[in-house]
Amino acid sequence: KQLTVELGERSYPIYIGDGLLAQAAELFAQRGISAKSPLLIVTDTAVGPHYLEPLAAALRAGGYTVAAHTVESGEKSKSLAVLQDIVATALEAGLDRKSAIVALGGGVVGDVAGFAAASYMRGVKFVQVPTTILAHDSAVGGKVAVNHPLAKNIIGAFHQPELVLYDTATLRTLPPREVRAGLAEMVKHGLIWDASFVAWLDENAQRLLALEPEALQYGLFEGCKVKAHVVSADEREDDLRAILNLGHTIGHALEAVAGYGELLHGEAISIGMIGAAKLALRLGCDPEIYTVTKRLLQHFELPTRMPPHLDTDAIMTAMSHDKKFKEGRMVYIVPTAIGRVEINKSVQAELVRDIVNELK
Ligand code: NAD
Ligand code: ZN
């Protein structure tokens, strides 16, 4: 399956299929990535052992010169120190302005390798080869970044890839908990934009959990499509991008309070989406929104309640840092129908506190 993302003047293809790594050289060449300059593949210690050689071999067979850099698996690799190491490997390998940096991995590798591509020699070409389900979200939209000890994703850039090569065969080694967490973002993409995709997710949850190639290809395709549509429309219509934050207001606060690690991002936003659906109920929306949201997340074996030991005050404080309450009111993404949300700019903080308590 192929999808074209259009962002302003630029557009790039997303290829999704089983066994696509083998076609890497051909697809790179079609996008004008030169074989005269060396490529650098950035991967991590969990992904590299499975897929670095197959990808590098496919590229070499097509005439490319390939170097590789492997970072530790995990969020800690989104740092300036790791960026410096990647740049050192790029220099040693002789990467020049016509080179490309290739991210082979999940969102962590995509973000740090993408920022390396955005900044090395003031920007070289970038290719995303996502290996997690969550990365259907992170690989579209062009946001790349590393963390600072004081704040997540605070040092970054917009840098669009030349192409995204999504080989669903790589997902077979993904730990099941990561599979479910990635599916939470897929559910989010349905809930914010596309009622028929929600209905499909409702019927095909088991196939997705079992990593059936056809189901994965369809689900990732539709999820990327929603993300691409929202980010490209946002270039004209300010604010629209905010709808991608469904479930993230509470979700980010839960991640921060639980300490990164106890909850995966997808698990935290699963609980956050239940919170948003409860808020919709309180604001008088169709009760079906809550029923469907909960059923979907349960199909995907995602949490719908938060760990009860988390302190409500701490969660409220974390939200106020994230979203800045004004006079006891906050901005909140609230579902108004299945496949539709609104940006409500005056949700009472007290109401949100009630909901946080209900989520325990
Ligand atoms: P990740 O990259 O850490 O991958 C999750 C875990 O699975 C890691 O341990 C990784 O080593 C392992 N892994 C990845 N692919 C594997 C495979 N095929 N087989 C076996 N193990 C594999 O995390 P993620 O969930 O993909 O992404 C999270 C990151 O993405 C966060 O840093 C987040 O900030 C970022 N993100 C960025 C954007 C964006 O727009 N740029 C959007 C959403 C999230
Ligand atoms: Zn998210």
- 170 closest CA partner among 207, 144, 133, 204: 133
Residues 6+ apart with CB under 8 A from 111: 78, 138, 143, 144, 145, 146, 153, 156
**Residue 227 catalytic?**
yes
Neighbours of 330 (CB within 10 A): 22
Ligand 1: residue whose CA is nearest its atom 33: 107
Helix, strand, coil percentages, rounded to 5, for the chain: 55, 20, 25
CA of 179 to the centre of ligand 2 (A): 14
Ligand 1 neighbourhood includes 141 CB (under 6 angstroms): yes
Domains of the chain: 2-173 (3.40.50.1970), 176-358 (1.20.1090.10)
**Residue 9 catalytic?**
no
279-328 pLDDT, tens digit each? 999 999 999 999 999 999 999 999 999 999 999 999 999 998 776 677 78
Q: Are strands 10-17 and 2-7 parallel, antiparallel or unpaired?
A: antiparallel
CA of 44 to the centre of ligand 1 (A): 10
134-145 pLDDT, tens digit each? 999 999 999 999
**Residue 229 catalytic?**
no
27-45 pLDDT, tens digit each? 999 999 999 999 999 999 9
* Predicted pLDDT at 324: 63
- 136 closest CA partner among 227, 35, 18: 227
3-class SS of residue 47? coil
- 194 closest CA partner among 3, 292, 338: 338
What is the ipTM, given to two decimal places? 0.99
Do residues 154 and 129 lie in contact, with contact meaning Cβ atoms separated by under 8 Å?
no
Q: CA 3 → CA 11, 39, 229, distances in Å?
A: 10, 24, 11
CA of 186 to the centre of ligand 2 (A): 10
- 70 closest CA partner among 62, 29, 55: 55
